[in-house]
Amino acid sequence: MTAIDYWFKDFRENWGIFLKNKKNTIDLAITIIFFIAVSYSFKVYLIKMESIKGVLLEDKLLNILPSYDFSMPIFVILYWIVFVTYIFLFAYPIRLKLILQFYSISLLIRLIMIFLINLEPPINLIYLIDPILNETTYNGQFITKDLFFSGHAISCLVCYYAMPNLLIKRIIGFLSIILLIMLLFQHIHYTIDLIGAYIVVHLIYKIYFKRACELKSKSYLNSPLIFNKNTNYES
C-alpha cells in the first residue's frame, strides 16, 4: 500500500468513528462557527484600524535590510503550507477540529493584541499583494496595521506544530523560515511581530493542543507510514 492508500484507509476509518458520536459533530460545528466569527471580526476591525494613529517602532534589523517585493512567493508558500496541512489532517477529524481551535485561539489573541497595541507600519514597507484576502476579505484595501503579532507567522507555526508527518513537518519548517525572512525584507512586520507570534503559538501548543491530541486521538487509526508517532508533538 502507498501513503495515499493509507491516507484513504485512515480517512474512512476515522470519520466512521468520529460521526458515530453526536457530540463530535456538535463540537466540530461549534469550532467552525467560532473560527468564522473570529475571521469575520478581523474583516470588520482591521479595516477600521487603518485610520487609527499608532506608534512607529525603531527596528535595528529592518533598518539594515533593503526593501524587496516578495508578495508572490509569500502568497505561494503560505497557501501551500495551509493547503497541504489541512488536506493531510482531513483524514484525522479529531486533529482537524483541534487545529481549527488552535488557529482560532491564536487569531483571537492576535486580534486582542492588535486592539491593545496600535503600531504604525515599518518604514519602507512594500504593500503585500494577496489576491485572495485583498479582494475577498478587505474589499481591495491594503491592510498595514495588523502588526503585533504576525498572522502569516501564526498560520505557518500552527501548521508546523500540528503536522504529525516528519518529512512534511520539516518542509513546512524550512518554508516557514524562508517566508518569515521575506516578510522582513518586504518590511511588512517588525521583528517583534514574528517573535511574539512564535511565543504565543508555542504556548498554546504546549498548554492546549499537544495535551488535547494525546488525550483525544487514541481510539483513531493513525497509519505509521504517514503518521510518525515517534516524532509527533515531541517539541
Quickly tell me which residue has 476591525 as its cell.
45
Quickly tell me which residue has 525603531 as its cell.
58
Give dist(CA 196, CA 154) in Å, integer.
10
Specify whether the CB–CB gap between 59 and 147 falls below 8 A.
Answer: no
* Residue 233: pLDDT band with limits 50, 70, 90: very low
CA angle centred on 70, ends 127 and 194, rounded to 5°: 80
Q: CA 174: distance to chain centroid?
A: 15
Q: Is 119 helix (H, G, I), strand (E, B) or coil?
A: strand
Q: Model pTM?
A: 0.91
Residue length, the chain? 235
Residue 215 pLDDT > 90: no
% of the chain beyond a pLDDT of 70: 93
Give dist(CA 128, CA 146) in Å, integer.
12
pLDDT digits (tens, 9 = 90+) for 15-71: 999 999 999 999 999 999 999 999 888 878 887 888 888 999 999 999 999 999 999
Give dist(CA 153, CA 173) in Å, integer.
11
Q: CA 105: distance to chain centroid?
A: 11
Quickly tell me which residue has 509527533 as its cell.
232
Specify whether the CB–CB gap between 116 and 149 falls below 8 A.
Answer: no
